[in-house]
């Protein structure tokens, strides 16, 4: 009965999409691993600056903490550019293997860290994996899945990242420092074993002239059974369409030149992709997650900061799950508009609360146990509805096929650079101007993001991944 329900389902559990779903889940395991590394940082940073809770033999200053926080984005830029080149050079599948290596180096460096420099290197290595996943995973999933479920399966990226961050928050809050790397390094090894089962994407194989392998790959991801004449005909049509689309791309020129990035179509797509990524960073969602425990210390909550951070991790997962349900139903633009508006309002409210804590003597005892947590939960929930997951989906769908891999690499490299700048300046800005002013600045960017999305962002829901569309 359950099999028949899945077979007749019109969603991601339709039997025709079974291998696409399994492949998407499998390759996003590394995103879960990267999420653990990201979540690990927030409670650990607060402990490294504490004279009583520090698990290591050295204490981090504010400036050193900002370097630990921001070097992940420097590594991200490196990962973006490196894997952007390798994606077309050695293929999607090889890159899927390679992105696990810097992550394993991260845990080795964390375990043996005798000085702050080891943590710098560890965060840089973690950033390389993170930067690689933003380039490799969305493109691979986009090339193997049906357009009707592409938004949901691409959004698994964010869901797995958030579940990983919650796991990282919990581990670094409640598990001894040197136990965490021993446990966590098993996961990328498991990931490497699982992804060997899945073939290269049909589009890339056709691009390389491997037609027989491409046909087998398409049959695999289409869960092709050839049980009826109609199914055989449908597959043949689908394969012919894919083959024609790839041949059209190759006929333009196998080599991507600088001129390809300066066509009207490419410039417009790159501008949109980079702007939505900038909205992602400028609203501060990733920075807030990175310094969550420190922020809760600053607003003087009654609940332990690490407990608040874990609760926020649960909220992240809820937001990512809701986004998966809604992204193919209501489209990308509507979700991004709602998310930008909501996060702006909530950031303004949190900044106001921080202002009363920092600049006044108002008694906030009756609010301190719940209001900061509720406001931060709303910020992270609404960010996960659109501002965090949608930019990657939009970028993959809007960029022309010919420049997609390198265009995504360039856009995500800019995202990492923007993140590096914000992560580096956030702690000094908190110290110099106060938390309230820093949060209000993020709220202003959210308002600008809403304005841009409403006026300029086109809807990309249902676009073909292999044909240029204006």
Question: What was the pLDDT predicted at 250?
Answer: 67
Among residues 343, 330, 332, the alpha carbon closest in space to that of 276 is found at 332
Continuous segment of H or E residues that includes residue 3: helix 2-8
Where residue 465 falls among pLDDT bands split at 50, 70, 90? Answer: low
State the chain's mean pLDDT as an integer. Answer: 85
Token pair of 261, please? Answer: 């990035």
Q: How many Cβ atoms from other residues are within 10 Å of residue 150's Cβ?
A: 27
Q: How many Cβ atoms from other residues are within 10 Å of residue 237's Cβ?
A: 10
| Tens digits of residue pLDDT in 145-204 | 887 777 778 778 878 888 898 899 889 888 999 999 999 999 999 999 999 999 998 888
Exposed/middle/buried for 432, CB within 10 Å: 0-12, 13-18, 19+? exposed
Among residues 307, 403, 398, 312, the alpha carbon closest in space to that of 350 is found at 312
- CA angle, corner 160, sides to 347 and 124, nearest 5? 80
Write the CATH number of the domain with boundaries 11-456.
1.20.1250.20
Question: What was the pLDDT predicted at 469?
Answer: 53
| Tens digits of residue pLDDT in 356-402 | 988 888 888 888 888 988 999 999 899 988 888 888 788 888 888 77
Where residue 1 falls among pLDDT bands split at 50, 70, 90? Answer: very low
Question: What was the pLDDT predicted at 94?
Answer: 94
Among residues 231, 233, 236, 230, the alpha carbon closest in space to that of 218 is found at 236
Helices (H), 305-389: 305-330, 332-359, 365-368, 371-382
Q: How many Cβ atoms from other residues are within 10 Å of residue 128's Cβ?
A: 26
Token pair of 176, please? Answer: 């001894």
């Amino acid at each position: 009965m359950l099999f028949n329900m899945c077979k007749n389902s019109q969603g991601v559990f339709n039997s025709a999409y079974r291998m696409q779903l399994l492949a998407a889940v499998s390759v996003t395991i590394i995103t879960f691993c990267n999420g653990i590394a990201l979540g690990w940082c927030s409670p650990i940073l607060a402990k490294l600056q504490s004279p009583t809770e520090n698990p290591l033999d050295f204490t981090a200053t504010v400036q050193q903490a900002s370097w630990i926080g921001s070097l992940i984005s420097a590594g991200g830029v490196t990962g973006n550019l490196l894997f952007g080149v390798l994606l077309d050079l050695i293929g999607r599948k090889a890159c899927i293997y390679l992105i696990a290596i810097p992550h394993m180096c991260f845990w080795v460096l964390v375990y043996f860290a005798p000085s702050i420099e080891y943590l710098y290197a560890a965060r840089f290595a973690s950033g390389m994996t993170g930067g690689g996943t933003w380039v490799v995973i969305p493109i691979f999933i986009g090339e193997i899945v049906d357009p009707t479920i592409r938004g949901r399966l691409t959004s698994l990226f964010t869901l797995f990242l958030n579940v990983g961050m919650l796991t990282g928050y919990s581990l670094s809050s409640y598990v001894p420092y040197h136990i965490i790397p021993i446990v966590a390094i098993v996961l990328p090894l498991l990931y490497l074993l699982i992804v060997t089962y899945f073939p290269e994407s049909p589009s890339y194989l056709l691009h390389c002239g491997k037609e027989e392998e491409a046909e087998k790959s398409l049959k695999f991801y289409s869960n092709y059974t050839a049980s009826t004449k109609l199914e055989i005909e449908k597959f043949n049509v689908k394969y012919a369409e894919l083959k024609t689309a790839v041949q059209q791309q190759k006929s333009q020129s196998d080599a991507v030149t600088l001129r390809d990035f300066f066509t009207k179509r490419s410039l417009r797509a790159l501008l949109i992709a980079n702007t939505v990524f900038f909205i992602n960073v400028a609203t501060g969602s990733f920075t807030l997650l990175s310094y969550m425990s420190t922020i809760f210390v600053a607003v003087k909550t009654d609940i332990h900061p690490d407990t608040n951070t874990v609760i926020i991790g649960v909220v992240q997962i809820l937001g990512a799950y809701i986004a998966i349900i809604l992204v193919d139903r209501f489209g990308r633009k509507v979700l991004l508009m709602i998310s930008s508006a909501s996060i702006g309002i909530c950031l303004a409210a949190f900044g106001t609360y921080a202002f009363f804590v920092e600049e006044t003597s108002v008694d906030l005892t009756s609010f301190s146990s719940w209001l900061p947590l509720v406001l931060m939960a709303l910020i992270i929930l609404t960010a996960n509805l659109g501002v965090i997951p949608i930019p990657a989906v939009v970028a993959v769908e809007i960029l022309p096929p010919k420049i997609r891999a390198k265009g995504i690499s360039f856009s995500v490299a800019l995202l990492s650079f923007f993140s590096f700048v914000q992560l580096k300046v956030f702690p000094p800005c908190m110290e110099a101007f106060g938390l309230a002013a820093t949060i209000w600045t993020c709220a202003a960017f959210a308002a600008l993001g809403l304005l841009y999305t409403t006026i300029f962002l086109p809807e990309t829901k249902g676009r073909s991944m292999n044909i240029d569309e204006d």
